[in-house]
Amino acid sequence: MILLILVSAVFGLIIGLYDFLLPLFLDHSGISYGSIGIIFSFSAIFLFFVRVYSGHVSDLIGRKRVFSLSLFLCALSSLLTPFLPNILSQVILRSLREVGKSIKEMLQQLLVFDQWKDSFRHLFSWVWGFDATFQGIGTLFGGFLLLKLGYTCSFVIPAVILFLVFVLFVFKFKEKRAPVKSEDVLQESKLAAFNSFYWSSPFSHRLPKPLLLMSISGFILGVGVSMSHAFIAPLFFLHKFSISIAWVAIIVALHRLFLGLPMIMAAKVVKWNLKVTAIVFLVVQGLLTSLAVVPSYFIAAAILWLMHDFVGASMWIPARNTIIQHYSRDGKRGLDVGMVLAWQGLGWIFGPLIAGILSKYSINYPFLFSGIVVALSSIPMFWLDYSPKEHLPT
């Protein structure tokens, strides 16, 4: 568990750095908001397939191999980014990074559930919390490197660190394969399972009703969150309030810390009805995101923006993911989780494009409409047949 937390922390460091630097690097390279929106949305097209198939593959060959691939892809994309500052190259590199990140986020929770099922909510909150916390530290680290060494070193140095973590994980992590209980998998040999792996196989997979509702909610959520989180947040503060790069780094770093630190303790707090928890805090996050456009002063806007994670995402993320794991089925867990997250990721195709269009009219609009859509994503969950007396992993 310590190794997984360490890997997650370092991964978060590099993700936070990359997410902070990339919009600034693209803006510095003279790429328009509309084109940046295309770069960020195009990568999401592949993620629908990646999430489904990576989960399916991990059911067959184990989680560790697929998780390792995510570390390698993210390191490679960060390494090459400063050397290829054109739109086509950035579309490809951003796509590689998003593929790696999406695989890591899904396989991470599957690894935790497989090996520590009875303590899932607690350990998931710790792993995700450290990830988000170190994303904040990575943002500050990125700002420091940018001011001291420029864009090239700011991307290359973290890439080298992540390559080293990749090697450490490959050689040191010992995977405990969970017993498979699904009858169709038990009756097939591994060869037969691979022979059945064709394009239509995962997409003929039918989700149970609760996971279907979570998929619909997730798609709406993906659209809403990506409108304000994909690339617009640092540019919103930079251009609306004319602040320095250093201040932008501080705000984006605090944004990560305000998610990560409270999430580490979320397992102690999120103990009541998880359906109600997810719905309430999705609405709270949406409201605070939209309200961040109201103040004309930087500090007031920043405080409202930061609160959307502190009293929003830090609560609904562990609640939502615990519900997804609860309704996912043994033997098909990777495929079930992959399908749900794939539909959520599909929303990230549209959010950045919408943000790019809205920002042409006002830099406020992506935040304003993002909050509204995030709040609306809670509606499908009202039909979720969930009893607070059901046993869910802690």
pLDDT digits (tens, 9 = 90+) for 332-361: 787 788 788 878 878 888 888 888 888 888
What is the number of structural domains in the chain?
Answer: 1
What value does the mean pLDDT take over residues 122-134?
Answer: 74
The answer to whether residue 186 sits within a structural domain is: no
Contact predicate 146/20, CB 8 Å = no
Alpha carbon distance 126, 358 (integer Å):
36
The answer to whether residue 233 sits within a structural domain is: yes
Q: What is the pLDDT of residues 209-239, one digit of tens each?
A: 889 999 999 999 999 998 888 788 888 888 8
The answer to whether residue 188 sits within a structural domain is: no
In the chain, count of helices (H) and strands (E)?
18, 0
| Residue 308, pLDDT above cutoff 70 | yes
| Residue 151, pLDDT above cutoff 90 | no
Contact predicate 53/342, CB 8 Å = no
Extract the runs of DSSP E, i.e. beta strands, from the chain: none
Q: Quick one: pLDDT at residue 193?
A: 46
The answer to whether residue 199 sits within a structural domain is: no
- The per-residue DSSP string of 118-150 comes to GGHHHHHHHHHHHHHHHHHHHHHHHHHHHHHH-
Q: Quick one: pLDDT at residue 271?
A: 61
> Per the structure block, which two tokens stand in for 20?
């902070």
The answer to whether residue 197 sits within a structural domain is: no
CA-angle at 67, arms to 61 and 72, nearest 5°: 120
Q: Quick one: pLDDT at residue 290?
A: 92
Model confidence band, residue 277 (pLDDT cutoffs 50, 70, 90):
confident
| Residue 92, pLDDT above cutoff 50 | yes
Q: Is the pTM of this model over 0.85?
A: no
Can you say how many angstroms the Cα of residue 278 is from the centroid of all Cα atoms in its chain? 17
Alpha carbon distance 10, 5 (integer Å):
9
Q: What is the CATH number of the domain that holds 85?
A: 1.20.1250.20
Q: What is the pLDDT of residues 112-127, one digit of tens each?
A: 777 776 677 667 777 7
The answer to whether residue 198 sits within a structural domain is: no
The answer to whether residue 250 sits within a structural domain is: yes
Domain that holds residue 310: 2-174+206-383
Model confidence band, residue 385 (pLDDT cutoffs 50, 70, 90):
confident
Lowest mean pLDDT among 109-113, 359-363, 384-388: 384-388
SS3 of residue 393 by DSSP: coil
The burial of 60, by beta-carbon neighbours within 10 Å (0-12 exposed, 13-18 middle, 19 or more buried), is given as middle
Alpha carbon distance 235, 64 (integer Å):
37
Alpha carbon distance 255, 252 (integer Å):
5
Lowest mean pLDDT among 27-36, 64-73, 106-115: 106-115
Alpha carbon distance 252, 247 (integer Å):
9
Nearest CA to 286 among 348, 350, 225? Answer: 225
The answer to whether residue 392 sits within a structural domain is: no
